[in-house]
Amino acid sequence: MSFEELVTRWDNFLSKLKDRFHEVLNQAEEPLNEVINNLQYDNIIIHNIKTGLHNQTVMQLMEKAEQGWDKMDSEMMKFGKIFWGQKSDQHRKLDDFREWLNTEFFKFEIDIYAKAARKILDNVKKHIDESKLHRCTQCGAELPINVYSFVALNMKCESCGSVNTYQPDDRIRALEYYVINNLAEEYAMDAKIKAKYDNNAQKEYYTMYYTYLMENVPDKKDFYKRDMDERVNNPFFSNVSF
Ligand SMILES: [Zn+2]
């Protein structure tokens, strides 16, 4: 086998691992959609499925790729003097593959959590009587509460003057964590991927992520604003981890 043939074999091997990645996720698609359709108000089952699929794809395929590299490495030795650059060119393909795996799985993960979020939001909307939630307990006048208020509020009724305590329903509280947060991640996904290689994109990611939260959770706008400013201005946040 010539060195070129060896390189082709290595390329084909990595390309087959990529095919395998898509194969596993394609097979999971139908049962996963079924699970999402049956979600109620949380996405805990999605975490378990995600962990399993991460094992079957990122973990197992990376292990195979590393074993493949060991073989590639010893095959290259048979050519005797191989320039360092040639070896590191081949090793870079392994690093690129790892990068590719992590990014592709990250996109997949964001996508399933966003799908789950839309389903949960749909369920909450169907089961919550918005008008009933936001009326004065004394006189029935409408109170100026956002449909998705996530914090408890004391509010004086403008019609009768009595003070109402608004406590968000558990399902509404859960929306912030299971729905809005995941939709914000989806909204800012491209910036987060870019941020792996580009520190400026990291600020873009935080800005997009928190802007989405501020727009969709107006009650906590100040809270998110502080969080955002802290992250955007913090010099220690030099890397976004996946
Ligand atoms: Zn009233």
Q: Is 127 left (phi over 0), alpha (psi -120 to 50) or beta?
A: alpha
The pLDDT of residue 186: 97
* Residue 175 maps to a domain: no
Verify that 135 and 119 share a domain, yes or no: no
When pLDDT is averaged across residues 216-229 and rounded to a whole number, the result is 91
Verify that 155 and 227 share a domain, yes or no: no
The alpha carbon of 127 and the centre of ligand 1 are apart by a number of angstroms equal to 25
Verify that 145 and 59 share a domain, yes or no: no
The pLDDT of residue 131: 62
The alpha carbon of 143 and the centre of ligand 1 are apart by a number of angstroms equal to 8
Domain extent for 206: 188-242
The pLDDT of residue 142: 86
Verify that 77 and 55 share a domain, yes or no: yes
* Residue 181 maps to a domain: no
The alpha carbon of 169 and the centre of ligand 1 are apart by a number of angstroms equal to 20
At 237, list the tokens: 């946040």
Q: How does pLDDT run across 42-101, given as a tens digit for each residue?
A: 999 999 999 999 999 999 999 999 999 999 999 998 887 777 778 899 999 999 999 999
Q: Are 178 and 116 in contact (CB under 8 A)?
A: yes
The pLDDT of residue 198: 84
The pLDDT of residue 239: 52
Verify that 121 and 133 share a domain, yes or no: no
Verify that 85 and 151 share a domain, yes or no: no
DSSP lists the bridge partners of residue 153 as 166
Verify that 8 and 122 share a domain, yes or no: yes
Verify that 119 and 138 share a domain, yes or no: no
Verify that 70 and 163 share a domain, yes or no: no
When pLDDT is averaged across residues 185-197 and rounded to a whole number, the result is 93
Mean pLDDT of the chain: 90
Verify that 153 and 198 share a domain, yes or no: no
The pLDDT of residue 242: 47
Q: With 90 as the cut, is the pLDDT of residue 170 above it?
A: no
* Residue 208 maps to a domain: yes
Q: How does pLDDT run across 111-137, given as a tens digit for each residue?
A: 999 999 999 999 988 877 766 667 888
Verify that 95 and 122 share a domain, yes or no: yes
The alpha carbon of 129 and the centre of ligand 1 are apart by a number of angstroms equal to 19
* Residue 11 maps to a domain: yes
* Residue 177 maps to a domain: no
> What is the domain count for the chain?
3
Q: Phi and psi (nearest 5°) for 135?
A: -120, 150
The alpha carbon of 126 and the centre of ligand 1 are apart by a number of angstroms equal to 26
Verify that 47 and 112 share a domain, yes or no: yes
Alpha-carbon distances, residue 118 vs 124, 200, 241 (angstroms): 10, 30, 25
The pLDDT of residue 110: 97
The alpha carbon of 173 and the centre of ligand 1 are apart by a number of angstroms equal to 25
